[in-house]
């Protein structure tokens, strides 16, 4: 079974600063993927970034990077140069290598202050 | 680029009624997933299909059923609706390659009154 934990219910960050959203995982699956999704108040689920368990380097996508520490079982999302439009709920999710279903964490609400 | 299409976007039903939610995956994506997100909750996996066969099952009530059709679109059928079924229902699609990102539709917001 897989478990995803996000311990920060809410975070604040000043516009243009960087912010790190925490995610830890626990899985018995030898091959897994870790995902981050953004959910604005409108409700849609937007894919941000993916890290495979065998990837040697941390994933990056524009202002998003994933700080993957396998020994600590953590996959933290780093957002650089925060923008007001980054205010949203952020979900970390773990993917099953067999069926691809996602197990989500509890989510972190990020508010960017002007 | 084409995205996952869900219909309807909003649905209001009374208790004990039935509802059908539709999902049209991204072209060439052969795997479809359904998730339920209650108010203030994280999305919960319901069921998935690969090549029109059920591939995995999560916490889906017996009152719900789903299928994937020959054109790969999928439908989630919900009967004897309860107030607690009010939620945002997402469909997501992906190619079969393991651990490939799933792309979500905009969701169907179901309200049971």
Residue B73: asked if its preceding bond is cis (omega within 30°), the reply is: no
Between CA B97 and CA A95 the distance in angstroms is 12
What is the distance between the terminal CA atoms of chain B, rounded to a whole angstrom?
36
Is the torsion defined by CA of B39, B9, B105, A65 positive or negative? negative
The per-residue pLDDT for range B51-84, each reduced to its tens digit, is: 899 999 998 999 999 999 999 999 999 999 999 9
- Which residues on chain B are in Cβ contact (under 8 Å) with A107? 42
pLDDT of residue A62: 96
Query: Of A78, A84, A89, nearest to A39 (Cα)?
Result: A89
According to DSSP H, which parts of A25-106 are helical? Answer: none
Do the Cβ atoms of B101 and A35 come within 8 Å? yes
In this structure, are residues B86 and B100 in contact, taking their beta carbons and an 8 Å threshold? no
Q: What is the mean pLDDT of residues A35-54?
A: 93
Residue with tokens 């780093």: A78
Q: Is A86 helix (H, G, I), strand (E, B) or coil?
A: helix
Query: Nearest 5°: phi and psi at B106?
Result: -80, -5
The per-residue pLDDT for range A60-98, each reduced to its tens digit, is: 999 999 999 988 999 999 999 999 999 999 999 998 777
What is the distance between the terminal CA atoms of chain A, rounded to a whole angstrom?
41
In this structure, are residues A2 and A26 in contact, taking their beta carbons and an 8 Å threshold? yes
Is beta strand B87-94 parallel, antiparallel or unpaired with respect to A108-113?
A: unpaired
pLDDT band at residue A39 using 50, 70 and 90 as cut-offs: very high
Between these two residues, A26 and A1, which has the higher pLDDT value? A26
Q: Is B98 helix (H, G, I), strand (E, B) or coil?
A: coil
Q: Which residue in the set A33, A43, A104 is minimally distant from B99, CB to CB?
A: A33
Q: Which residue in the set B48, B96, B104 is minimally distant from A101, CB to CB?
A: B48
A44-48, A51-55, A80-84, B7-11: segment of lowest average pLDDT:
A51-55
Tell me how close the Cα of B99 comes to any Cα of chain A, in angstroms: 5
């Amino acid at each position: 079974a897989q478990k995803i934990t996000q311990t920060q219910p809410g975070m604040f960050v000043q516009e243009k600063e960087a912010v790190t959203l925490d995610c830890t995982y626990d899985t018995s699956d030898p091959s897994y993927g870790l995902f981050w999704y953004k959910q604005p108040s409108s409700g849609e689920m937007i894919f941000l970034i993916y890290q495979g368990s065998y990837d040697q380097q941390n994933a990056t996508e524009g202002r998003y990077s994933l700080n993957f520490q396998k020994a600590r079982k953590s996959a933290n999302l780093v957002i650089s140069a925060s923008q007001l439009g980054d205010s949203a709920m952020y979900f970390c999710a773990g993917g099953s290598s067999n069926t691809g279903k996602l197990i989500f964490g509890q989510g972190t609400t990020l508010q960017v202050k002007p | 680029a084409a995205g996952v299409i869900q219909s309807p976007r909003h649905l209001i039903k009374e208790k004990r009624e039935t509802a059908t939610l539709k999902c049209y995956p991204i072209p060439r994506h052969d795997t479809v997933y359904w998730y339920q997100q209650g108010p203030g909750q994280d999305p919960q996996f319901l069921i998935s299909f690969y090549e029109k066969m059920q591939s995995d099952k999560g916490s889906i009530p017996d009152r719900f059923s789903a299928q994937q059709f020959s054109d790969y679109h999928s439908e989630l059928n919900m009967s004897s609706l309860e107030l607690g079924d009010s939620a945002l229902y997402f469909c997501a699609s992906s190619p079969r390659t393991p651990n490939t990102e799933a792309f979500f539709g905009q969701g169907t917001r179901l309200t049971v009154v």
